[in-house]
Amino acid sequence: MYRAQPGLYDEMVDAEGAVRPHWRALLDRFDALGPEALNNRFEAADRHLKESGVSFRVYSDADATERPWPLSHMPLLISAEDWKHIKSGVLQRVELIEALLADVYGPQQFIKDGLLPASAIAGSPEFLRPMVGVPPVGGRYLAFYAIDLGRSPSGDWWVIRDRAQGPSGAGYAQENRNAMSRALSDVYRGFNVERLGSFFEAYRGWMSSFRTGDDAGTCLLTPGRLNETFFEHAFLARHLGFRLVEGQDLTVRNQQVFLRTIAGLRRIGALWRRVDSDFCDPLELNQRSQLGVPGLVQAVRQGNVMVANALGSGLGEAFALMGFLPALAKKVMDQSLLLPNVATWWCGQETERRYVLDNLDRLVVAPAFVSRLPGILDHGPTVVAEMDPGARAALVEAIERRGVDFVGQEVVKLSTTPVWTKGTLEPRPFELRVFVAATADGWNVMPGGFGLIGDRIDARAVSMQQGARSCDVWVLSDSRVADPSHLAPAREVTIRRSTGALPSRAADNLFWLARYLERTEATLRIVRSMAALLVEERSDISALVDILFKWGASPQPYPTAGDAAAAQALFGTGPGAIPALIRAARNAAAAIRDRFPRDTLQALDDLNAFIVSTAQVQATTAYVLDKANTALRIIAAVAGFQNENMNRLSGWRFFQLGHRIERAINTCRTVRQFGGEASTPDTLDTLLEWCESQRTYRVRYLHGASRGPVLDLILIDESNPRSLAFSIADIVTHTLAMPRTPNEGDVSSATSMAQELLNEVRAFDVAKLGNEQLLACENGLMRLSNEISQLYFTVREPAPASVS
Amino acid sequence: MKYAVKQVTTYNYASAVPFAKHVLRLTPMGDAGQTVLANTITIDPAPRERQEDNDFFGNRVTHIAFESPHLTMTITCEAAIEKSEAVTDDLAATPTWTTVRDAVPLIADLSPRAPTHYIFASRFVPIDPTIRDYAGQSFTPDRSILEAGLDLAMRIKADFAYDPAATDVTTPTTEAFSLKRGVCQDFAHVMIAGLRGLGLPAAYVSGYLRTEPPPGKPRLAGADATHAWVSLWCGEAIGWRGLDPTNGITAGGDHLTLAFGRDYADVSPVDGVIVADGGHTLSVAVDVVPEGETLPEEPPRLS
């Protein structure tokens, strides 16, 4: 039986246990479906999230691996009445924080008038002095802001904290909605739930208004794929049509910001940052930052780029300020706060410090400006009553000496909302993050939000990093919610074709992803050939064992036993073994997940999971053969997805270039190993099989494998898609289609090099062909790969270093 | 007294640097008792971009960028500075340190020299209980602030060994404190950390100190070092006063101010981001010559 916790407000039932009216319909629907059908629906939602690759990263994990997204399957329902109040409160608050930032970085009148103590500003590491007196492009400091709300036992909503830096969660909220609306489509459609789409569309419009004529588009600046919410950055970039960039993708020249692309530098007009302000420019802000863009502050100062939120906006998050907001709202807007703060006392003031010290055991003490104070508040906000005596005494002493560094806060009791656990509903505490974004004519509140549900019933502050779950938030409307397709009539939608220049780093990663995939396939084919020979108990496997050793896939050369070498190549730890190659491919893919067919990423994950789950270094030959065959089928699926689903733009061409260069190199190597002067009919058979060309050969030639015809088929025959000449001809085609930088001639150096290689291969005389010719071709291909890097992947330059 | 100052900073790179951006804080500031009569900065090779502005703290900043490969960068700064006689305070007559401490949070001012900027942790200066307790020994109850401050500077001079090999520009202040060794930068950071730990406003000053040649010996070119010391806010009436923990003295007429900030990060003479394959070596030569004397090599070219 579901019951509210004593002394806490519950969202679904009142203190007497009666279901609140706005939940009634949902519970009736769930009852009608029954537990089994419901479980199936919830599993479908989880599957959707998994297949969409929704993930986050937990820093405390030893390997900081990505975690699948934990979704609580019960939506949080917000009544129309509650929402009206929340919405007004959020709109009021964003205006207030905006006014605060504009004053502090501008005239500082609030300080002179005594509304804000100077120390409550100066103590914040987010008060960025280089930004004082720099008006924000677009006239506003905040473009995307959020607050975390909790509901007190009395039923009132309270602001727990402000998120002014670069709030996360809006993208996850959209993904939660996607999962829930699909899994519960009939239930969802039966409700008047406010849709999220127009919120993002309006924000996109605002950000796009800062673009200049021919710029590279609005960019989303991410710290990179190791960031805890990188998935969301990639998701939002794709959802909004922004470019996902890292600091090294951008450069500042003549105080303007440019994107490095394969066609040279392209101007940037607007930047949505998910990098904390202080890390945005190593030249004028935190010199240790590797995430920023040197010179960005100068570009901002000159008004040449719109940065959202403005550098230094994180100041608005300081707990120290909270206690002053009620008075500020009175002064600035002549209003009371519609959503009150958690009561907060900043200890930089004598009276407040006294109050906090006198009432310590009823309060939480938190750092006034930062997340943690080492040695005193190691874990951030702490309930004083739960501290051990030594730590408590140290805290009291620290507050007495330097009160400015601390705030006292009322202990927050969160309300509870139901979660579905093993077939029943149980109450859990939650926080609700509500988002507001700038639009051309004001602010727009996302009708919904990000629900964060704690694991333990006594949780006060919930964090995604501590094993919490998130939930979809359904804002219920009194009136019928328009179907989203009615929101944007077809005639108003501008047709957009994604073109624009490809960022160099994306091209680089696509190229290397293709190379690693192809190398994986080449290695798998060797493993499969070896296992096949061993199963048939044919004799000479020395050349196969040796090539696995040369490729770094197995640790020892012949006379290692073939089955050991094959198992090592498939499951071992060598730099050329399958697990390492898949890891490299996934790393490259993860860095560019915003411009990638989802199925490809999913297939790569499947491949990885398959290899990891079946790994047996002491495997039997039959086992290895079976696993190699399955792995090859998954690889074929990856290639298929790429071909079917990737737009034929330059990104696809770089993928093809990587694929073809790697295959051409591997073909040269394999032919040297199995088709050289010392080849035998057996090794030639292996070669044909490796090249998937056995059937063609049998059709053309009645006799068994003989060197001249085999080499002709594998090296020179351009009708064979696995031949060396075919690959190189393809490389020529792709390099010809690449954009030219202004100082290049009609034909790029890469095209000339590829064409020359093609001519050489076409002129091969298979009767006299020696290994040194193949080696020369192989080296030529590697030089070509370097040339492509030089031409297009300028970020492969050594990383910038600091000097001082 | 008028001084001619010349500082030559040279970077030698292991391989050609194709792209670089730098921020220079090498223009001496006009300050209490100090007037800059003339100043030039010459950069070789000539940078592609060059802009000048003032930073928050009032330091003159030169932004430069290079877009063509270079193996060395030489920055030559020359200035003529007039320095008035140092103010001699009656140390015992300055306010008690607790009066100053308690006054700071009440000051409704965020302008660059307002004391509130200088009581918090900054990039190089942590709020550290150990350093605070060390500093606290000088700050006995009811002691006047400048007397206690000078006492702390003298204790650092006595307790720490000057040892350029012990630390570099990136050494954390807590490490320099436990080593009890370092250079002027470390001593200034330790002293600032101690003062701020007690709630007192303390700033970092970079500049030059004229060193007297040994009697009978000529002045050596480049022997005068870049220097750093501490400025302590002593209440509204007195304002900021320099204290030099490297020498255990008040910073007087021989201390020429280059830049003022919360710690080294705010005043670092050359910051930069370069695209480079190898490392670099750095040399800095400084001459501070009172008017009337001449440099041994060549006279400063002043406009």
* Residues A789-801: tens digit of each pLDDT: 878 886 434 445 5
pLDDT of residue B19: 87
For chain B, state the CA radius of gyration. 20
- Tell me if A381 sits within 8 A of A366, measured CB to CB: yes
Q: What is the DSSP string of A698-723?
A: HHH-SS---HHHHHIIIII-TTSTTS
- Least Cα distance to B71 among B273, B274, B295 occurs for B274
Distance from CA of B36 to the nearest CA of A (A): 24
- Quick check: B117 and A130 CB within 8 A? no
Pick A295's closest partner by Cβ from B21, B116, B275.
B21
Whether the per-residue pLDDT at B52 is higher than 60: the answer is: yes
Pick B11's closest partner by Cβ from A255, A284, A803.
A803
Residues 90-119 of A with CB under 8 A from B: 104, 108, 111-114, 117-119
Sheet of A800-803: strand order equals A800-803, B270-275, B19-27, B60-66, B49-54
Kindly indicate the confidence band of residue A486, based on its pLDDT and cuts at 50, 70 and 90: very low
Interface test mutation site (partner A, options B125, B273, B277, B283, max chain A beta carbons within 10 A):
B273
* B64-81 confidence digits (pLDDT tens): 999 888 999 999 999 999
- Tell me if A444 sits within 8 A of A201, measured CB to CB: no
Q: Is A511 helix (H, G, I), strand (E, B) or coil?
A: helix
For chain A, state the CA radius of gyration. 31
Whether the per-residue pLDDT at A261 is higher than 70: the answer is: yes
Distance from CA of B218 to the nearest CA of A (A): 32
Pick A118's closest partner by Cβ from B63, B114, B271.
B114
- Quick check: A286 and B123 CB within 8 A? yes
Kindly indicate the confidence band of residue A467, based on its pLDDT and cuts at 50, 70 and 90: low
Chain A residues whose beta carbon lies within 8 Å of the beta carbon of residue B18: 797
Most confidently modeled of A86-95, A728-737, A743-752?
A86-95
Average pLDDT over residues B109-137: 95
In this prediction, what percent of chain B has a pLDDT beyond 70? 92
In this prediction, what percent of chain A has a pLDDT beyond 70? 92
* Bridge partners of residue B205, in order along the sequence: B229, B260
Pick B116's closest partner by Cβ from A118, A253, A797.
A118
CB pairs under 8 A between A and B: 117
Distance from CA of B108 to the nearest CA of A (A): 5
- Quick check: B107 and A118 CB within 8 A? yes
CB atoms within 10 A of CB A307: 26
Chain B residues whose beta carbon lies within 8 Å of the beta carbon of residue A283: 21-23, 271-273
Whether the per-residue pLDDT at B298 is higher than 50: the answer is: no
* Bridge partners of residue B182, in order along the sequence: B162
CB atoms within 10 A of CB A114: 11
Average pLDDT over residues A37-41: 89
Residue type, B41: I
> Environment class of residue B221 by beta-carbon count within 10 Å: exposed (0-12), middle (13-18) or buried (19+)?
middle
- In angstroms, the CA A267 to CA A252 distance is 10
pLDDT of residue B300: 36
Distance from CA of A348 to the nearest CA of B (A): 7
Q: Where are the alpha helices (DSSP H) in A536-574?
A: 542-550, 562-571
Pick B116's closest partner by Cβ from A122, A301, A403.
A122
Phi, psi of A241 (to 5 degrees): 75, 30
Kindly indicate the confidence band of residue A463, based on its pLDDT and cuts at 50, 70 and 90: low
- CA pseudo-torsion sign A79, A85, A91, A96: negative
Whether the per-residue pLDDT at A449 is higher than 60: the answer is: yes
Pick A129's closest partner by Cβ from B56, B104, B272.
B56
Most confidently modeled of A220-224, A452-456, A694-698, B219-223?
A220-224
- Quick check: B51 and A112 CB within 8 A? no
Whether the per-residue pLDDT at A202 is higher than 50: the answer is: yes
Average predicted confidence (pLDDT) for chain B: 89
- CA pseudo-torsion sign A774, A779, A782, A788: negative
pLDDT of residue A506: 86
- Tell me if B138 sits within 8 A of B148, measured CB to CB: yes
Of residues A701 and A493, more confidently modeled: A701
* Distances, alpha carbon A701 to alpha carbons A611, A708, B78, in Å: 38, 12, 85
- In angstroms, the CA A269 to CA A307 distance is 9
pLDDT of residue B303: 31
Distance from CA of A588 to the nearest CA of B (A): 23
pLDDT of residue B126: 93
Kindly indicate the confidence band of residue A583, based on its pLDDT and cuts at 50, 70 and 90: very high
- Quick check: A802 and B265 CB within 8 A? no
Q: Does A800 touch chain B (CB under 8 A)?
A: yes
pLDDT of residue B176: 96
Residues 123-182 of A with CB under 8 A from B: 123, 125, 129-130, 132
Average predicted confidence (pLDDT) for chain A: 88
* Bridge partners of residue B2, in order along the sequence: B82
Whether the per-residue pLDDT at B266 is higher than 50: the answer is: yes
Q: Does A401 touch chain B (CB under 8 A)?
A: yes
* A648-702 confidence digits (pLDDT tens): 788 889 999 999 999 999 999 999 999 988 888 888 989 998 998 888 898 888 8
Kindly indicate the confidence band of residue A58, based on its pLDDT and cuts at 50, 70 and 90: low
- Quick check: B114 and A122 CB within 8 A? yes
Token pair belonging to A182: 């699909």
CB atoms within 10 A of CB B107: 17
Pick A803's closest partner by Cβ from B65, B117, B274.
B274
Of residues B85 and A389, more confidently modeled: A389
pLDDT of residue A459: 46
- Tell me if B245 sits within 8 A of B188, measured CB to CB: yes
Kind and range of the H or E run holding A40? helix A21-51
Q: What is the value of ipTM here, to two decimals?
A: 0.91
pLDDT of residue A798: 41
Interface test mutation site (partner A, options B120, B171, B260, max chain A beta carbons within 10 A):
B120
Pick A404's closest partner by Cβ from B11, B105, B123.
B105
- Quick check: A117 and B109 CB within 8 A? no
What angle (nearest 5°) sits at the alpha carbon of residue A385, between those of residues A380 and A386? 65
- Tell me if A505 sits within 8 A of A210, measured CB to CB: no
- Quick check: A122 and B110 CB within 8 A? yes
CB atoms within 10 A of CB A456: 12
Whether the per-residue pLDDT at A495 is higher than 70: the answer is: no
Residue A479 CB partners (closer than 8 Å, separation 6+): A192
- In angstroms, the CA A208 to CA A277 distance is 21
- In angstroms, the CA A376 to CA A347 distance is 15
Residue of B nearest to A794 (CA): B275
Token pair belonging to A157: 């909503």
- In angstroms, the CA A486 to CA A484 distance is 5
Distance from CA of B271 to the nearest CA of A (A): 5
* Bridge partners of residue B256, in order along the sequence: B208
Token pair belonging to A392: 């408590």
Interface test mutation site (partner B, options A296, A406, A804, max chain B beta carbons within 10 A):
A804
Distance from CA of A801 to the nearest CA of B (A): 5
Crossing angle for the helix pair A542-550 and A681-690, to the nearest 10 degrees: 50
Of residues A435 and A614, more confidently modeled: A435
- Quick check: A104 and B104 CB within 8 A? no
Whether the per-residue pLDDT at A489 is higher than 50: the answer is: no
